[in-house]
């Protein structure tokens, strides 16, 4: 997309993916995941740890890649993939909590951030669909 105008009368201009709220939220989630995975409980669970890291990184990667696409349709496709990755992360967080790999507090904070990221991504998809329909 390279540049996106957002808001009433296109007042806000976003020229890089790092300015997107959904990307910022996904990046915050990534940092939070890496911090939790650094504890001793996960050291022996390399496969689960690796998959959770990759799924979380996939969210921000797809938002960034989608932003650089040349059509709204392509951008939306990458955002949908990012949104799907948030569901994958949620599922793995549930598994981690059920298996006793994280505290309830860590689980709740990560799920809250994951849901925030998903909501922002879905909102951006809705916005782009509205633009595409005009």
CATH for 33: 1.20.1440.60
Mean pLDDT (the chain, rounded):
89
Residues near 31 by beta carbon (within 8 Å), at least 6 away in sequence: none
Confirm whether 25 is domain-assigned. Answer: yes
Residues 33-50 as b/e (b if ≥16 CB within 10 A, e otherwise) read beebbeeebbeeeeebbe
- The region of weakest confidence among 38-52, 61-75, 78-92 is 38-52
pLDDT reading at 46 higher than 60: yes
Q: What would the mean pLDDT of 45-56 be, rounded to a whole number?
A: 93
Domain with 129 in it: 17-133
5: in domain: no
Regarding pTM above 0.95, the answer is: no
Given a cut of 70, is residue 9 above it in pLDDT?
Answer: no
pLDDT at 29: 98
pLDDT band at 81 (very low <50, low <70, confident <90, very high): very high
Asked, for residue 39, whether it belongs to a domain, the answer is yes
Q: Is the pLDDT of residue 13 over 70?
A: yes
pLDDT at 6 over 50: yes
Total tally of structural domains belonging to the chain: 1
Domain contains 54: yes
> What is the pLDDT confidence band of residue 133, given thresholds at 50, 70 and 90?
confident
Structure tokens, 42: 């996960």
């Amino acid at each position: 997309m390279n540049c996106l105008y957002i808001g009433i009368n296109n007042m806000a201009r976003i020229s890089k993916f790092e300015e997107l709220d959904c990307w910022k939220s996904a990046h915050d989630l990534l940092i939070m995941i890496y911090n939790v995975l650094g504890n001793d409980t996960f050291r022996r669970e390399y496969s689960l740890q690796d998959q959770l890291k990759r799924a979380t990184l996939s969210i921000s990667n797809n938002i960034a890649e989608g932003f650089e696409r040349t059509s709204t349709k392509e951008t939306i496709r990458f955002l949908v993939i990012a949104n799907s990755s948030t569901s994958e992360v949620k599922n793995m967080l549930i598994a981690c909590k059920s298996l006793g790999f994280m505290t309830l507090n860590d689980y709740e904070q990560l799920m809250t951030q994951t849901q925030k990221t998903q909501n922002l991504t879905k909102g951006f998809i809705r916005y782009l669909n509205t633009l595409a329909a005009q």
